[in-house]
Every structure is written in structure tokens, then in C-alpha cells.
Amino acid sequence: MKIQPFTFNPFQENTYVLSNEGQCFIVDPGCSNRTEEQELVSYIESNNLKVKAILNTHCHIDHILGNAFCCNTFDAPLWMDSRDLPNLRSGKVLSDMYGIPYQVSPEPDLLLDDQKTIKLNEHELELRFVPGHAPGHIVFINHSLKWVIAGDTLFQLSIGRTDLPGGNHDQLLDSIRRELFSLDDDYEVHCGHGVSTNIGFEKKHNPFLK
């Protein structure tokens, strides 16, 4: 399975395309203008990928700006955790507040709440529920390649903010300790913002988790 990162929109959000043998997932499509949309389309087309689903780690506005574009353009379903539906549904209010153009996201086609794994061909991703930054935040783990798409839970030397609706600082720390720090030190962490890191480095140096 290959990971291709893109950094999109005024919030510098990381969108990831996870692909394997002609199929892909788009995680947190943040494309917010023609240029960014075209960048994503070019990648998908030049690699002859069929988009199996759009996945949201959580539904803050910077992670869903491209949901509608991607679902429509690639004729793909939206998969997410139901506990982030309030965030998904407040997208329009927030985008208006920030003055960002936003095509309202469709409602999810599949709720991942009770799903332990999802598959791209024979490659499996484990899902873990990691509330704290957002109430319905999930992460996607590839155990065979030892990486995790962590959304806005853990960043290099930082953690996600917890001052937005449904956020809870202690819950976020618990989620990171239980669901991420239980992974081996050499698991790579692909974050929703900024550079990638790994579990061992964050266990040792992250000031929020000492």
C-alpha cells in the first residue's frame, strides 16, 4: 500500500491518498480550490486509481473541504464515524465564519463506528477510536507497513487542540496513550498537519505526554 500526501487549504491540512493495486482511499480531502482539486485528480488519473471511498478521520472544516468534490468527481462513498456528524453538519456555519468557499459535504454512506478493519484489495487497515480532539475521531493503522494515519490526535512534538466543540484534553491524552502509544516505537505517524513523526520519538520527546 502506498501513501501519497498532499497539503491543502489555508489551514495547511494534510490529505492522504492510500493506494494498492489500482484502488485507493482518499483520507480527509482538504482541497479547497481549482488548483488543489486538479492536483488530486491528476494524481488519481495518472495512477489509474479507482476511488473506493472517501474517509474522514474527523470532520473539522479543514478536513472536509473537498468531501463533496471528491465524492462527486470520483463517484465514491463517504465513510466516517457517526460521533462526528455534528462536526460534519456544522461545516457550512464554520466555513462562512472563516470566509472559505465550501461545497456542503454529502452525508456519510457508511458509518464506521463498529468496524474494526477496512480493506483495500487484500490490504487491511485497522480502525481505532481516539476521541478528544473531536468526538468521533478515528485513526487508520497499517500493521504490515507499520504506519498510522493519525488525523489531528498526535503531531510532531504536539497534540491536537481541544478547545473546539466536543473536545476534551484529558480524553485526548488517554486516547493517544491507549491507542497510539501501544504501537511499536517504529510505527510512522502521518499527521493531519505538519511533518510525519514516529511513536518512539513522541513517547520520548512530546512535551504533552511526558
Q: How far is the CB of 119 from Zn ion (least distance, A)?
A: 26
Instruction: Please give the full DSSP string across 10-62, using - where no structure is assigned.
Output: TTTEEEEEEEETTEEEEES----SHHHHHHHHHHHHHTT-EEEEEE-S---HH
Distances (CA, A) of 151 to 45, 130, 132, 142, 154: 25, 10, 12, 14, 8
Identity of the residue, 153 or 206, whose beta carbon is nearer to Zn ion in the bound complex: 153
> Does residue 83 touch Zn ion according to CB under 5 A?
no
Residue 51 and residue 71 in contact, taking contact as beta carbons nearer than 8 Å: no
Q: Specify the DSSP class assigned to residue 164.
A: S
Q: How far is the CB of 45 from Zn ion (least distance, A)?
A: 29
Distance of CA 158 to the CA centre of its chain: 17
- CB under 5 A: which stretch of 20-28, 98-106, 112-120, 146-154 binds Zn ion? 146-154
> Does residue 152 touch Zn ion according to CB under 5 A?
yes
> Does residue 137 touch Zn ion according to CB under 5 A?
no
- CB under 5 A: which stretch of 45-53, 56-64, 93-101, 142-150 binds Zn ion? 56-64
- CB under 5 A: which stretch of 15-23, 60-68, 72-80, 93-101 binds Zn ion? 60-68
Q: How far is the CB of 13 from Zn ion (least distance, A)?
A: 8
| Among positions 19, 31, 40, 60, the unique one binding Zn ion when judged by CB under 5 A | 60
Identity of the residue, 81 or 152, whose beta carbon is nearer to Zn ion in the bound complex: 152
Q: Cβ contacts of residue 116 below 8 Å, gap of 6+?
A: 126, 127
CA pair distance 84, 88, nearest whole angstrom: 6
Site string for Zn ion, 159-178 (x = CB under 5 A): --------------------
Identity of the residue, 152 or 179, whose beta carbon is nearer to Zn ion in the bound complex: 152
Q: Output the nine-digit C-alpha cell for 136.
A: 468521533
Instruction: Please give the full DSSP string across 115-151, using - where no structure is assigned.
Output: --EEEETTEEEEEEE-TTSSTT-EEEEETTTTEEEEE
Q: How far is the CB of 58 from Zn ion (least distance, A)?
A: 6
- CB under 5 A: which stretch of 55-63, 102-110, 112-120, 121-129 binds Zn ion? 55-63
Q: For cell 481549482, what's the residue?
A: 34
Q: How far is the CB of 98 from Zn ion (least distance, A)?
A: 13
Residue type, 38: Q
The residues that touch Zn ion, with contacts defined as CB under 5 A, are 60, 152
